[in-house]
Amino acid sequence: MTANPMLLSPSRAVTPSVEGVPSGSSKRVLLVNPPSPDGQVYIRDVNRSGRVSREGTIWPQTSLALIAAVLDEAGCAVKIEDCIAERTDYQTLYRRMQEWQPTYVIIESVSCTIVHDMVVAHYAKYLGAVTILISPHGEALADETARRFPAVDEIVHYEKHGEPEYEIRRLITGRARTIQEDFSTLPPAAQHLLPVSRYTLPLIGVGYTFVLTSRGCPWKCIYCRQGITWQSRVRYRSPESIVGEIAQYRLTNIAFHADTATVNRKQMLAICDGIRTLPWKVRWICNSRVDTVDLEMLQAMKSAGCWMVCYGIESGDDEVLRLNKKEATVADARRAVSLAKQAGLRVWGYFMLGLYGDTPASLERTRLLAQELPCDLVNFSLAAPYPGTEWGRVAQDNGWLASSRWEDYDQNTSAIVDQPGLSHQAVLAFQRKAYLSWYGSWRGVKFFAQAWRPRYARFFYQVIKSHLGG
């Protein structure tokens, strides 16, 4: 049930100052990953478009922890409320906000939850706080967001301001970014402020976190916002900084948080060298493109504790890949998966249904490719036309959108594009078919046999409920 902020009106109301807090007051900053609007687990991130987690993933909020680290260095009191991971409802969040009395509230939001997330902005305004929104949706539709949600005082624009952490610091403290400050000078994320023990990932179980390695993507796939958000310019952290963060918090289960962790071969090999010097074992995974790996790199990753690589394969049809500007081929996918298996790595294959140019025949080729490749885990997501993406503009300009509700902009549960010869209902039906065919095969049986362990029980349940149970 969606919370009604009017039901939780505080005993006092203070009119905030957008210019700052009253003179002499400390700057108390609360960073919020808002509660679930309907009880489901949602994935939110400053550079992700947002979705329901159908595979049991609870997303580490290292994006908030990085902002918190910058503000902490600037002398602010900071606190993170990860309502998704901690299963905090609206009423509990509001009570905690009353107790802590923040002067600033930073809200993370995405398309499919933004209508509900703005309840938190209302709470903050009742308490006299200045509200700052970080959201790929809010950035793409800034005018609409500001008009529809007047409780938001500031919307951070990544494309305009570069690294959002420095812009948020300026808004709160007045300290502007210097010419020397860039992505490479950001401090390690404040991992200690996160409920790391509550974050889950398939085959890892409970207790992992993200470590940021780079930001940005040089490719321009039409369904993705990364090139827009980060201006298609890749920025890298030094291997020393990355390994230093792992050492500082003695992290053991991590996922490298990057659009493509293997895009810089030299950086990846240096990270591996650094991890091997640590006196404890680090288990890690990363996202990769199928056209950015080689056997030597994958073997080095394996020797440094990497146990799974996640490939964005997307489609089993080369023409669909071309139309969506993927700049990779089916042959690249076959080669990359084969190399990963040679290196002794598990493979998580990401596939996408309902892409620009998809047809019933191309969807079937995608399903068959997923069956053919020796992946250990697969996802079949839906090509949601997120605002700000080229795919969103194509769907809008052609009148293909079957829904105008932002709640339906979810790449795991809602197909909303009616292309010629391929309805959104057909895409949704095919998603179910694809999951049934993969997880109902011998490979799926093998996976479930492995997953039937206490630490994998949540994922097992989620797959059965969401993918096989309808």
**181/278 same-domain check:** no
Among 102, 144, 151, CA closest to 125: 151
**177/232 same-domain check:** no
Answer yes or no: is 359 within a domain.
Answer: yes
pLDDT in tens, 252-295: 999 999 888 999 999 999 999 999 999 999 999 999 999 999 99
pLDDT given for residue 211 in this prediction: 97
Query: Residue 44 contacts by C-beta under 8 Å, 6 or more apart in sequence?
Result: 33, 34, 50, 59, 61, 84, 108, 109, 110, 113
Sheet holding 28-33, edge to edge: 77-82, 28-33, 104-108, 130-134, 154-155
Where residue 383 sits, what CATH number does that domain have? 3.80.30.20
Domain count of the fold of the chain: 2
**154/288 same-domain check:** no
pLDDT given for residue 206 in this prediction: 74
Answer yes or no: is 441 within a domain.
Answer: no
Answer yes or no: is 151 within a domain.
Answer: yes
86: tokens are 């901690």
Answer yes or no: is 18 within a domain.
Answer: no
Residue-range definition of the domain harbouring residue 90? 24-185
Among 289, 290, 297, CA closest to 267: 297
**Amino acid at position 354, single letter:** G
254: tokens are 């991590």
Answer yes or no: is 199 within a domain.
Answer: no
Where residue 120 sits, what CATH number does that domain have? 3.40.50.280
Q: Using CA atoms, how far apart are residues 372 and 146, in angstroms rounded to an integer?
A: 48
**273/361 same-domain check:** yes
**169/246 same-domain check:** no
Q: Using CA atoms, how far apart are residues 406 and 420, in angstroms rounded to an integer?
A: 23
**104/151 same-domain check:** yes
Answer yes or no: is 379 within a domain.
Answer: yes
pLDDT in tens, 179-197: 888 888 999 999 999 999 9
**255/335 same-domain check:** yes
pLDDT given for residue 19 in this prediction: 40
**214/288 same-domain check:** yes
The model's pTM is 0.89
- Domain end: 139, 154, 185, which one? 185
pLDDT given for residue 348 in this prediction: 94
pLDDT given for residue 462 in this prediction: 53
pLDDT given for residue 125 in this prediction: 96
Helices (H), 304-453: 318-323, 330-342, 360-372, 390-397, 424-439, 442-451
pLDDT given for residue 450 in this prediction: 61
**117/235 same-domain check:** no
The answer to whether 137 and 387 are in contact (CB under 8 A) is yes
**154/276 same-domain check:** no
**172/218 same-domain check:** no
Answer yes or no: is 463 within a domain.
Answer: no
Q: Using CA atoms, how far apart are residues 248 and 442, in angstroms rounded to an integer?
A: 42
Q: Average pLDDT by consecutive 10-residue portion of the chain (470 residues)?
A: 37 38 66 94 79 82 96 96 96 96 96 94 96 90 93 85 87 91 92 94 81 90 75 85 96 92 96 97 96 97 97 98 97 98 97 98 98 94 91 95 92 92 96 92 68 51 51
pLDDT given for residue 225 in this prediction: 75
**180/226 same-domain check:** no
pLDDT given for residue 291 in this prediction: 96
With H, G, I as helix, E, B as strand and everything else as coil, classify residue 146.
helix
Q: Using CA atoms, how far apart are residues 29 and 32, in angstroms rounded to an integer?
A: 10
Answer yes or no: is 439 within a domain.
Answer: no
